[in-house]
Amino acid sequence: MNSLHAQLLQLAIATPLLAALIIAGGLPKRFAVKLAGLAFVVPALIAAWLWQQFPAEGGATYHYLSNFDTGLGRFGITLKLGLNGIALPLFLLAAIVGLAAGLYALRSGAERLKLYLMLLLIMQGGLLGVFASVDIFFFYFFHELALIPTFIMVGIWGGRDRNYAAMKMTIYLTAGALLSLLGLIAIYVKSGAQSFDLIELKAVLAHQGLAPTAQKYIFGLLLFGFGTLVSLWPLHTWAPLGYGAAPSSAAMLHAGVLKKFGLYGFIQIALPLLPLGAQTWAWQLALLAGIGNILVIGFITLAQRDLKQMLGYSSVMHMGYCFLGISCLSAIGTGGVVLLMVAHGLSVALLFMLATSVHHRTHTFDLAEMGGLAQKTPVLAACFVAGTMASIGLPAFANFWGELTIFVALWKFSPGLTAVAVAGVIISAIYGLRAVARIFFGPPSEHLQQVMGQHPPADLGWGERLPALILLAALLGLGFYPQLLSRSINQALPIGTAKIITGSAPTSPAQP
């Protein structure tokens, strides 16, 4: 049974990539669309099945393992796939958001649709691969595989400033990725494990950890590498610009899923393998995230007039909560981060998609030129309001549980930062609700009346409604019953983080 599941896991990653290859081979457009649709649905079904089959008491270890040698075996690099309790929720997230983004793209009517779908499929394959990789080299490899299409999609289908945005994103993200690659190679070389296999690395390092100085430097590399990728202030400037210019499906997948790569790396790799390094950097990380990401970016978000820019900044801001949760270095904090990663991925994907739907109806992203859309498009308005509420972190949505657990953990770490974080929720409520009010309520602006006179706005069609409902259902499901994911996360954490950190704490001098 387990080998069947392992094969299903491989199939989930291979399907989008193979479909992309077939489409690149010159499939006619009619079939290409159908094939792409299939290639988005299959991984989602497989992910749901694997999640449902995941052993109730087995979150701590990896399941569905399979191993291939790609010719780099002598360096300890093999394509090793599998899922543990932390990887599973994110794998599921990638599959769900991928499905929503894919379905939306199928009906988006983009120019050069075949190329668009092909790139999106490559991205989807890479995303699923990232979270299913046990080998940290392939973890990086799949991330880059998903990243490249993003650049091309921004450059070809992007909005205003697309060339600049694509270039800036490329340079920032490559720099971040290379720094984290250096960190990963450093772990490999210094650990003496002769392997990039995370299970083996954990075993070797649990036996004898790295020297404190080595841990400090390597964690620093990873901090700034992963930090750039997750838009840690002040390395965040690519994010609002890039998301503002990116076409909706690419923004959904990147902001929703790909960006979680860095956080996932912290939780799955950096914290368990470099506990002392994490301790030395925890305060720096917390201050950058608390003051920079939450307060500074929060105020910048308040000042945005452009809907997509605002969403981009708000996603940068919410990453601050994740960083704060990580810097607590406690099981409850990291568990909250995993939950928030999933919830934020779903909600931000929903909002980016609906922002494009709004743009189709108003022909502008400028918040000042909108208004009164709720009367014409009630479903769109309802979905958008729900998405905004989820993003603020109101109860009944998944985000609430993530933020709540992070706040609980944060109180132990630093009450002052908890106050800052809670103030951030108020800031995000202000800009979120104000945007909703500007777009959907009040009298329509002159510009909008003109546009609506020429093209009367229709409510969400099924091409937009279906992906929105998938995302909303997931958000609400997790909001009412977080145990859907939290059980497997719980089991993975004690071994993954808390034990090693508390276990090694006495040997290191207490941090003031």
Partner 1 sequence: MTTDYLKSVADSNQWWALGPEIILACAALGLLVMEIVLPKKDHRFIPFIAILAQAMVLLTVSLNFRTIWLGENLFGGLIKLSPWGQVARVFFLVSSLLVSFLGTLCLPRTKVPRVEFYHMVMVVTAAMMLLVQSNHFVMFFVALETVTIGFYILVSYFRDNALTLEAGLKYLVLGALSSAIMLFGIVLLYGAVGKVSLNGVTHTGFEFEILNNFLRHHPDNFLAIAGALLVVGGVAFKIGAFPFQIWIPDVYQGAPTPVTAFLAVSSKAAGFAVLLTLVNQVFTPLASILVPVLSLLAAATIIMGNLAALTQRNAKRLMGLSGISHAGYLLIGVVASFTVPWATSAVWFYLCTYLLASMAVFGVMAYLSGPDDTNQTLDHYEHLAKQHPFLGGILAVGLGSLAGIPPLAGFMGKLLLFIVAFQAELYSLLAVAISGVVLSIYYYFGWIKSAYFEAWRPVSTETTPITRSVITIPTLTGKWILGLLALATLLLGCYPGPLSHWLPF
Local structure of 424: helix, strand or coil:
helix
Can residue 152 be called a binding residue for partner 1 (CB under 8 A)? yes
Place of tokens 């400033």: 161
Contact with partner 1 (CB under 8 A) among 48, 60, 156, 379: 156
Name the residue among 61, 135, 47, 55 with its Cα closest to residue 94.
47
Distances, alpha carbon 399 to alpha carbons 52, 163, 340, 342, in Å: 22, 34, 6, 8
- Tell me how far, at minimum, the Cβ of 287 lies from partner 1, in Å: 25
Contact with partner 1 (CB under 8 A) among 74, 109, 208, 453: 74
- Tell me how far, at minimum, the Cβ of 66 lies from partner 1, in Å: 16
Number of residues that bind partner 1 (CB under 8 A): 34
Can residue 189 be called a binding residue for partner 1 (CB under 8 A)? yes
Can residue 313 be called a binding residue for partner 1 (CB under 8 A)? no
Structural element, H or E, at residue 67: strand 63-68
Range in contact with partner 1 (rule: CB under 8 A) among 86-94, 159-167, 206-214, 475-483: 159-167
Query: Residue type at 293?
Result: N
Contact with partner 1 (CB under 8 A) among 148, 287, 379, 385: 148
Give residues with Cβ within 8 angstroms of 335, minimum separation 6. Answer: 405, 486, 489, 490, 493
Can residue 151 be called a binding residue for partner 1 (CB under 8 A)? yes
Nearer to partner 1, 145 or 350 (CB): 145
Nearer to partner 1, 214 or 353 (CB): 214
Name the residue among 504, 466, 437 with its Cα closest to residue 102.
466
Nearer to partner 1, 191 or 405 (CB): 191
Name the residue among 102, 95, 46, 114 with its Cα closest to residue 467.
102
Q: Are 359 and 474 in contact (CB under 8 A)?
A: no
- Tell me how far, at minimum, the Cβ of 297 lies from partner 1, in Å: 24
Residue 249: alpha-carbon gap to chain centroid: 14
Can residue 71 be called a binding residue for partner 1 (CB under 8 A)? yes
Contact with partner 1 (CB under 8 A) among 69, 194, 416, 481: 69
Nearer to partner 1, 166 or 229 (CB): 166
Nearer to partner 1, 217 or 321 (CB): 217
Q: Are 196 and 77 in contact (CB under 8 A)?
A: yes
CA distance 321 to 313: 14
CA distance 398 to 22: 37
Nearer to partner 1, 40 or 188 (CB): 188
Nearer to partner 1, 72 or 408 (CB): 72
User: Can you give the binding site for partner 1, defined by CB under 8 A?
Assistant: 69-72, 74-75, 137, 140-141, 144-145, 148, 151-152, 155-156, 160-163, 166-167, 170-171, 174-175, 178-179, 181-182, 185-186, 188-189
